[in-house]
Amino acid sequence: MSTSFIVERRADYAGFRTRELAVAGHGPTVLFVHGFGHASECWVQVLEMMHEAGRAAVAVDLPGFGGADPLAPGELLSQLDMFLVEVIRRYGAAEGVVVVGNSLGAALAARAGRHRDLPVTAVMALDIAGITWKKTVSVGLGPLLASSGLLAPIGVSGRLYRACTQHAMSHLLYGRRSAVDPEVVAQLAEVFPDLREAHRLFRLGARFKAELDRTREHGGVRVPLVIVHGARDRLVPISASRTLHAANPGSRLVVLPHSGHCPQLDAATVIAQHARELAGMTNHSREIS
């Protein structure tokens, strides 16, 4: 990574060795949490903007992804909860932490925002996973698992596989073609280097989905909450964010008409602006104007 002001370093949280990207600055640290199959690089554009604003920020690789240790056997969400608790306590000891998450990361951020003993000062949830899904996920995941399992032992041409993976990433994560950054897409596609690894990740994704689907409590976030949803999200419907908004009186819902499932990729300026505003808020009121 060539951006010199972003510091890449190793860290340990809850027994997991991981990697994080950080920028120095003032105010409460803004913690960025990626979604399934991603890593901290998906926040680089936003980190650059936080640096320009002089705001402290850090993006971490969740266990099981990026440069982090693999997840242990057993329940998955509880492991990520414990991991995030330690990250929040480490960075929030002085001024608290604003937690910004996308997809799976948004679900984790909302869960952290319900804990009264954590120094979370605000939460921003982008295209939250787990409340409801579009048919791409609810119907499509099963056949995807089956087909990748059948094809993995046979293999597919490397060039063809990479082209298909990058096309899928562009289509599923961005809201409009003009916003697609080929370099970022190629980097994200590295998470699925071949069909065997893709099949393993699809199986892991099915386990995460099953655990998230069992979640029935969507309210109770005790801190200021901004909910963002890309209107062109092809994985999670806007009704998921509306449900979260309705369950948390005083929260704010922002719909981005041209964004997809990952607004940090195609609306980084907007996400950075909201993150800066939350970091600059006092936590005297639950209401967001």
pLDDT digits 0-9 by tens, 148-197 = 776 666 666 677 778 888 888 888 889 988 888 888 888 887 877 787 88
User: Lowest-pLDDT range, 61-65, 73-77, 196-200, 247-251?
Assistant: 196-200
18, 11 Cβ separation under 8 angstroms: yes
Q: Three-state DSSP class for 227?
A: strand
The model's pLDDT over 226-274, given as tens digits with 9 standing for 90+, comes to: 999 999 999 999 999 999 999 999 999 999 999 999 999 999 999 999 9
Q: Where are the domains of the chain?
A: 7-136+216-280
The pLDDT of 82-88, averaged and rounded, is 98
Say how far apart CA 234 and CA 232 lie, in whole Å.
6
> What CATH topology corresponds to 7-136+216-280?
Rossmann fold (3.40.50)
CA distances from 90 to 33, 34, 126, 137 (A): 15, 18, 23, 35
DSSP, res 6: S
pLDDT at residue 126, rounded to an integer: 99
In percent, how much of the chain has pLDDT > 90? 72
- Whether the predicted pLDDT of 143 surpasses 80: yes
User: Lowest-pLDDT range, 3-12, 124-133, 160-169, 208-217?
Assistant: 160-169
Helices (H), ranges, 15-96: 44-52, 77-92
